[in-house]
Structure 1
Amino acid sequence: MRILLVDDDELLAQTLADFLISQHYAVDWVTDGEMGWDYAQAATYDLIVLDVNLPQVDGVRLCQQLRQSQYGGPILLLTAKGDSADKVMGLDAGADDYLVKPCTLDELSARIRALLRRPTAIANPLLQWGDLCLNPGTCEVSYRGQPLALSPKEYSLLELFLRHPQQVFSSSVILEHLWSFSEIPGEETVRTHIKRLRRKLKAVGAEQAIDTVYGMGYRLQTLPDSPTAPDPVPVGDQARQAVVSLWETLRAPILKRLSSLEQAVAALQTGPLTDPLRQTAAVDAHKLSGSLGMFGFAEGSRLSQEIERWLATPEEDEDGDQLRSRVEALRQELERSPTAPVTPVSQPVVLPLTPPPGPRLGEPQPPSGPSKVLVLDDDDTILATVQQLLAHWGIQTVILNDPLQLWPTLASELPDLLILDVDMPHLNGIEVCQLLRDDDTWNGLPILFLTAHRHPEVILQLYSAGADDYVGKPFTEPELVTRIFNRIERNRLLQAWRKPSQPLSSGLDGGGEY
């Protein structure tokens, strides 16, 4: 399962990312709302975790944008804002759950598992295929009650198939689900992991679990009957070990933040706090209040919140006695070992959401109404291949190999979607994309890049320039066709949502609404 984490508190976010990775999730982490939007458009995420106070675009507005762009996956808001009004605002924006800092890693992990279970409408938290059983809570796999040892990626592959038993996954889509941008390999890696997983399943008698759909990808073999699996194993011990390990790694930078507060106390002995020192201490206190609860320091989080409030409004305590006593108590609190208590999970508030339009990969279905696609690429082979491929699906295709002819061709053909390559003569595809996004007439045209570039930095440049989607060369027919269909249908839905007077735009434009 792949998770996007959007949080500008580097220490807290690194703690969360490390913990989630230890639970066999693939994690991408970004620090502001605009990058969160770019990443959410760049890959398929099973769940998105958002802070509320984010630079560029706040978490509530980003949540709204994601829902308006038809992202149907679960969204968890993780924030220090715990007022009832803040929760209502976050849930009304489209969040599936709202978790207030400080919280424990146990609670966060349990909430994530609950959200990932919800779309499958399965009451039993175990994932089963016949006698094969996967327990997401303990990351354990068994066959007929006997443990089955899998590598982290083999485990993630099996979990992906078990959570989506009817879906066909191409190699590129599997890469999107199970690898982060910083580590994404080639498609041959997927075939290698599939082969190893099949070998281990065959050794215990489950060799028919994974089916190959030739020319399309892989899926779970249909199995009508499933026996009852054993009861799940408690998750507490594994989570506590992960918490202790993370605390040992991050203890030094946390104590550095505490030192910032102690410097503020010392400065009060000689006079009033300077604005820079007060601001730095307030930021550190705020971050401590959010991160300490992850390690079981509930009292530490409470003290940090009180320190933050004091720094914001010192009122009559100008000599700093209250501040001093709270910082000293915080130091004593952090001298003990983390406890990481298992926090009971309350029932989250859930909003009914309509699944995003479009077919599953492997089952392409045309969008409503006739469609026209303009393909700009200096490779005539690619142009001919795409034109022939799309013709089978009833899509009218206009091909172009010179970017200098793009504007008159757009005006004469009025396409529903544009496909660009990166490397082209005169203007590269990224420059073309930027020019279109700056143009009042064409800034809302869906743009899909079809390119051999796979480096994360280049892919991020595509989305930063305003791209809507990306498919790597070589590509499979169902993947390309499905992405084209989904983008065209999504754009038509957005046009239907907009008021006639509202300008057409793409992405997070910093003003107005989708």
Structure 2
Amino acid sequence: MRILLVEDDDNTAQLLVRVLADRHYLVDRAEDGEMGWDFAETFEYDLILLDVVLPKLNGIDFCQKRRKIGDRTPILLLTAQDNSTEKVEGLDAGADDYLVKPFNCEELLARVRALLRRGNDALPPAIEWGALRLDPSGCTVTYRGKLLKLTAKEYQLLELFLRNPHRVFSQSALLDRLWSFDEPPSETAVRTQIKGLRQKLKRVGASASLIETIYGLGYRLNGKGEPSEKSQPQAPAGDKNYLQTIWQQNKSKYLDRVAVIDRAIANPQDVKIQDALREAHTLVGALGIFGLHGASQQARAVEQMLKGKDNWTTQQENLLFQHLALLRKEIEWGEQNVQPHSPMSQSAIANKRLLIVDDDAALVRVLTAAAIAQGMEVETASDLAQARDILQHQHLDIVLLDLGFPDSTESGLALLTELVRSHPNLPTLVFTAKESFATRVKVARLGGRGFLHKTISPSEVMNAIARVLHCTEPPLAKVLIVDRDPQLLDRLRTLLEPWGLRVILLDDPQQFWQVLKSTHPDLLILDVEMPEFDSIDLCQVVRNDPQWQDLPILILSAHRDSKTVQRVFFAGADDYIPKPIVEPELIARVFNRLERSQLRRTMVAERLTARRERALSQVRRD
């Protein structure tokens, strides 16, 4: 496949040529729009990668002219302009796709493959797992060339497993995804379809255990299979070292671009604002490609402010200088942050509301500028009382909290404790100069979602915030664990959170009822032996309340005698797990209880719906 790359920034072009060449594409590079036009007139290309802002002939005009002369070559626009107007203009000009800088190289390659498929029917969007091949274009499945005759449900099951090769699907999850509301939910139906699929795989020579059962949890694709290279593309070998080499060679050039912007602001008669805009635009995409997303966002903020120079206020001019200072610092810190792939997408941060609680005014200004540059809305508090007032009256998405307040008798840990109990769904990251391991343990036990030391760069802080906010799906369920043993609590959190569960820890039974009402868990795990109130007491209290009487309860105990077991179940517990804990067994029991609870709620809802429909039918007849 032959690709034309029209890009004026040497460093960005050099990287893209390397990435595409490593995927065996033949790439011709043009430095401006006119040169790109000459290439397109001379050679036949399968795809054109085209920057929007180009010398001599910009990308929009280039695209329009190619379409006017009847050239239907797929065109992918690359630009740092992230707004709907620019996208509409590019697509109206005839572009087939539009990718905003900075972008992940793997996303670029995926879009390239998609556009090439449109222009070449010989590239089917097949999924492969070893000798097994599923072709969505014809809804066919083959194993070593032998066709499998599958039912619609068997095909859907296999496609789901192939598209999620490492995920375990419970029976209830499969029912939710593949069975419609018109079909009565039945876990027997899942087992029947799985059995039929395995039998048909076995008939064509595939292993019947290709779909394996994880006891007590569900089903997944057998990890012993050998997925093909097509199904799991890898990053180019040595990509990170290659990026760092290019960065070290060109770091000074990017600092020179910042200097041009500085001169344009200080001496507009010597350097035109339009030239400064061009430099800022180049920095947005080029720095983002290197993984320097903090620097890229600062450059984007500078570019946007330069566009409104005629209406600047003194405050806006001061903010521009702050962005430039941050941009220069981010570039100077570049070597330690250059990455082959982008971190969490900016979409995880954009339009989110951040509260920064810190009494260091200078640091707060820097962090505020960094957050605003990424599209966040920011509130700041210099003390804990001010933070509490903001929390009471405003909606927030995340909190960045310092622990040390010299003018207060309280530490940030006090506010963290309050946040976890009164705002359990509001994530809090601790950002502090304290580095003791004991402090880290306290933060983890209290429910902090991250611990950041005040030696990291603003971009690293933003990346940490993005990682916390970048949750494509809500937690599968919330689990409240009550135990006086802090080591066991930490162990259970580490064990359960990777399975998608939101874990709430409580080491003080006195606060159990308050935490239960504020967090609304889907499952309780209680230890038998606790001072003042043991798990038997807590279990009975829960069962006596109509709101919580159906809440699943698991009891942990080191006692295995029949008397203790009888007391546990007589108090209303759903399950009993002896210590020492066998981790796979605990996970299986937790998910079994959660699924049974979900199924029970579904059945209750169906009964209510049926009753309502019968009542309505009776009213109509009457």
Q: TM-score with structure 1 length normalisation? A: 0.42
Structure scoring higher RCO (CA < 8 A, sep ≥ 6) equals: 1
Q: TM-score with structure 2 length normalisation? A: 0.35
The structure with more radius of gyration? 2
